[in-house]
Amino acid sequence: MNSRYSLLLSAMCTAITLAAQVFTLILALSNAAYANDEPVEKSVKVAIQVGDGKHRVFIKQVLGEFERRYPNIAYELIVLRDVQRYPLMVEEWLAKGEGPDIIYWYAGQRIKHFQDMGQLQDISAFWSKNKLDQAFPKAVVDSIKIDNKAWAIPVTYFLWALYYREHSFKRLGLAVPTTWAETLHACKKFRENGIDLFAFGSKTAWASHAWFDYINLRLNGLSFYRDLLAGRIAYTDDRVKLALRYWRQLLDNECFNANYSSYTVWQAFPRVLHGLSAMTLADGVPQIDMPREIRDDIRMAYFPEITEAMPRYTVAPVNVFMVPAYTRMRPELEKMLMFLASPEFQASFNAPISRPAALITADRGSDVLAQETFQAIASSPGGIQYLDRDTDIRFANKTPAILVDFMQHRDVDKTAKDLESLRKEIFGPLLKK
């Protein structure tokens, strides 16, 4: 009996030892497999286009904070400086279904173009989980939503508004115009003193879009203008012609600098600094050297009211980070997306380019102009990106020439017909709503 018991006990011990060895082997193989997968599963590639080295340094510095927070997540930053080549690279990545996990891009129709082709990842679940609707202004949120789904993380915007020097108005005892009648009055008074009300540069032909955008928004409203840009309304519509007539009033009253064809939009801005023009419609203050007292004297104003009580819709292109369809949503990717939506990243990303951060809680410093710009967007009832971001790009590529020509010949009917001919070429017969 004792002998049988000893044999049984010995067999049991041997079985337990073998089981332990097998478990250890399985665990070792599992760990090895996990270790081999870790670099792939725990890495994120981010592509971005930046214009200068200073901006690139700022971005790398703030991403160093991500590295400190998540030392087990490797990231690769792909930076392209060429603004012409970058869109071609983005098109190529999305068409091939292979490339960076997160891509810097433009909101509005520019993301809808890729979404229509099924090349973008729907990030609505991530967006809702982190309550991001409350983190950004309404006008910014609208720019990344399609069919009430979220498709990108906003990072910055460019508010098109009237920028002016307070000194120029105070010197003539004039208030900044808030209505169309006040605008024409200010135009007359400045002209009597040899000063243009508005500085413009038609060498940057697409800048003419901003005037067409705002006059339509102030006159006809947001819903109408969105339908117009979507190809659902004819450009020979009386409301479009009325907008062109309002624009012609500014031209007929010599409210623009006479030599606007000699300037780009950025070259025209210094006319405001030097008191040659009172205001300019621009997407911000250019990054040029200027005395501190002049920089502190620059203020922002809303485009004047035309139709009484029309909401003050804004024109503000938004830049974003989007996730391609070929990218798998995973924990480390979501951590990077949350970091890109953080106050630290958004403030650091925008500081060197003097742009407002899209995030409501991002630090804006003590700059008065930055605060005014943010308040304009935060209080906006909605708006558009910009004509060339909210309509078919094939249409937007040809409209600047038509609008700049209008500023020369001022023929409303001809311009309306030219725009409608282009609309038919791009959109075809009128589309139903």
**Tens-place pLDDT, residues 135-166:** 999 999 999 999 999 999 999 999 999 999 99
**Tens-place pLDDT, residues 182-216:** 999 999 999 999 999 999 999 999 999 999 999 99
Least confident segment among 19-23, 196-200, 312-316, 378-382: 19-23
pTM listed for this prediction: 0.84
Of 284, 346, 349, whose CA–CA distance to 135 is shortest? 346
Residue 405 has pLDDT above 70, yes or no: yes
> 3-class secondary structure for 296-340?
CCEEEECCCECCCCCCCCEECCEEEEECECCCCCCHHHHHHHHHH
Q: Decide if 371 contacts 159 (C-beta within 8 A).
A: no
For residue 3 the two structure tokens come to 């002998």
> Number of C-alpha atoms within 13 angstroms, CB side, residue 383?
34
Of 358, 353, 346, whose CA–CA distance to 143 is shortest? 358
Q: Decide if 369 contacts 285 (C-beta within 8 A).
A: yes
For residue 181 the two structure tokens come to 């009648």
Strands 314-315, 383-384: pairing kind:
parallel
**Tens-place pLDDT, residues 222-250:** 999 999 999 999 999 999 999 999 999 99
Residue 219 has pLDDT above 50, yes or no: yes
How far apart are alpha carbons 267 and 126 in whole angstroms?
Answer: 43
Q: How many helices (H) and strands (E) does the chain have?
A: 20, 13
Q: Decide if 86 contacts 49 (C-beta within 8 A).
A: yes
How far apart are alpha carbons 234 and 46 in whole angstroms?
Answer: 41
Residue 5 has pLDDT above 80, yes or no: no
